[in-house]
Structure 1
């Protein structure tokens, strides 16, 4: 069983829980179980995102930086798109009915008793925009690095493969990977449980992000494994001509809900309940 940590009263954050370092493998198994229990609803999310990714590749296949920007935004904002997957897992956990109506309510009427003019109602959208801005920043930094250091102008994905990835001197590629890892780490730390927490409980955006960082600091090895699994499965999905995303997206989405449930005790905060 997880061990709770004391919470700093001045921050008023949900409680971060300690877990075993192999627990991420359990989340994947639970995510797969949720897919098996609601295959049509779960896999439809994967189909939608795979088709979106295919459209991005079709439009930007010969415009490398346009495609890189679109795919970066696509991957970083993935946790937002998975919001209804979290809702499905929560309903299964509560033994509540799961249907298309639940998905519609999650996106159209995601909480009761809250004015749509209020800042709190749009916290999910705000967080998605922050992630999109982060993705844009990475693309700009990446483009600047490649433009300054590549031996030729990089205009297409094949140029990138030939002159950066497969270059005899791999210095530029290694530097690009290191820079990407450095920039991705704070994004992962800020978002690892933020979206499920915002969807589930009435917390502010800052509370969700700080709780996410607290989880990382208390479980560095387990969360490093979780990050590696996310990257590995995402790359497998992309490498399979996006077909693998049909399974990978819902599995990671459902697994992220179970990660949140194992990592955070937010019982002191009111539930968000959809209406309609």
Structure 2
């Protein structure tokens, strides 16, 4: 090769380098619908609860802090029931279904245990910061649903009763045979809103924390999980509801344990449905 040819070769190095795609675009990320979700069995919700208890015993101080928060929320709910009984069902469901946001720190503790790290209360309290924008958007969506539910509950009460029953005779009024249509309507309305909120938020918050996905993608993934495993997720929702209701009975003291255990269990539900990134 002559010197002139060598110079020409070094003057045009791009001829030997790979070319970018003609459209100049980077490879597209996989769609949320392409994420493979696990097929569940009826034993899985009970396994999640067992793993939740195991995580709670591994970091009881963190769990009891958040359990105390649930305890305070329970007494706040009781105050609302006494002041405005028409809203109690919607607010009770909000207590059950907005709980995942309070459980953010518990999810972080379970993730630390999973990664072989030591959970700490300080780290759990700061776990929301990396995804605060997405969390705010998702919380706003759920808040709108809660407000619509509360308004619908009030309308059903207003149509049925001329005056709002007092807390002393509320149950007696509700179980009267002439109010059976009210009970059916109120239950159906509550079931519709509860279903919407649950399927949207079942695994959304842990997914946002773990993968830092956007609110829409996490919500759609949660809906996919419920549609793919309707019976198991219905069982999981029933277990959550029954556990919380029973925990409320002894002056909400049961929430000190039930709240954090369910939080840890929800992390394992997410991990059992969505593969690790």
- Find the counterpart in structure 2 of residue 168 from structure 1: 177
- Post-superposition Cα deviations, 1:93-152, rounded to whole Å, max 9, x if no partner, equal 111021122223314xx33xxxxxxxx6411122122212211211110110121023x4
Which one has a bigger Cα radius of gyration?
Answer: 2
Unaligned runs of 5+ in 2: 1-28
Residues 10 and 254 of structure 1: is their aligned pair in 2 closer, same or farther, counting only changes over 3 Å? closer
Higher helix share: 2
TM-score, normalising length: structure 2 = 0.82
- Find the counterpart in structure 1 of residue 82 from structure 2: 61
1:261 to 256, 260, 271: 271
- Find the counterpart in structure 1 of residue 69 from structure 2: 48
Residues 136 and 156 of structure 1: is their aligned pair in 2 closer, same or farther, counting only changes over 3 Å? farther
Unaligned runs of 5+ in 1: 1-7, 112-119, 268-276
Output the CA distance in 1 between the equivalents of 2:118 and 2:257. 23
Mapped contact 2:37–2:225 kept (Cα < 8 A):
yes
- Find the counterpart in structure 1 of residue 3 from structure 2: none
1:133 to 124, 127, 144: 144
- Find the counterpart in structure 1 of residue 8 from structure 2: none
Output the CA distance in 2 between the equivalents of 1:59 and 1:184. 19
Output the CA distance in 2 between the equivalents of 1:45 and 1:101. 12
Output the CA distance in 1 between the equivalents of 2:270 and 2:191. 23
Residues 13 and 54 of structure 1: is their aligned pair in 2 closer, same or farther, counting only changes over 3 Å? farther
Matched residue pairs, number? 248
Matches within 5 A, 1:1-276: 10-11=31-32, 14-58=35-79, 61-65=82-86, 70-107=91-128, 110-111=129-130, 121-150=132-161, 152-164=162-174, 166-169=175-178, 170-267=180-277
Report the Cα offset of residue 242 of structure 1. 1.3
Residues 240 and 200 of structure 1: is their aligned pair in 2 closer, same or farther, counting only changes over 3 Å? same
Q: Give the superposed CA RMSD.
A: 2.2
Residues 199 and 246 of structure 1: is their aligned pair in 2 closer, same or farther, counting only changes over 3 Å? same
Residues 232 and 71 of structure 1: is their aligned pair in 2 closer, same or farther, counting only changes over 3 Å? closer
Residues 55 and 12 of structure 1: is their aligned pair in 2 closer, same or farther, counting only changes over 3 Å? closer
Output the CA distance in 2 between the equivalents of 1:60 and 1:171. 22
Mapped contact 1:63–1:155 kept (Cα < 8 A):
no
Output the CA distance in 1 between the equivalents of 2:40 and 2:94. 30
Report the Cα offset of residue 13 of structure 1. 5.2
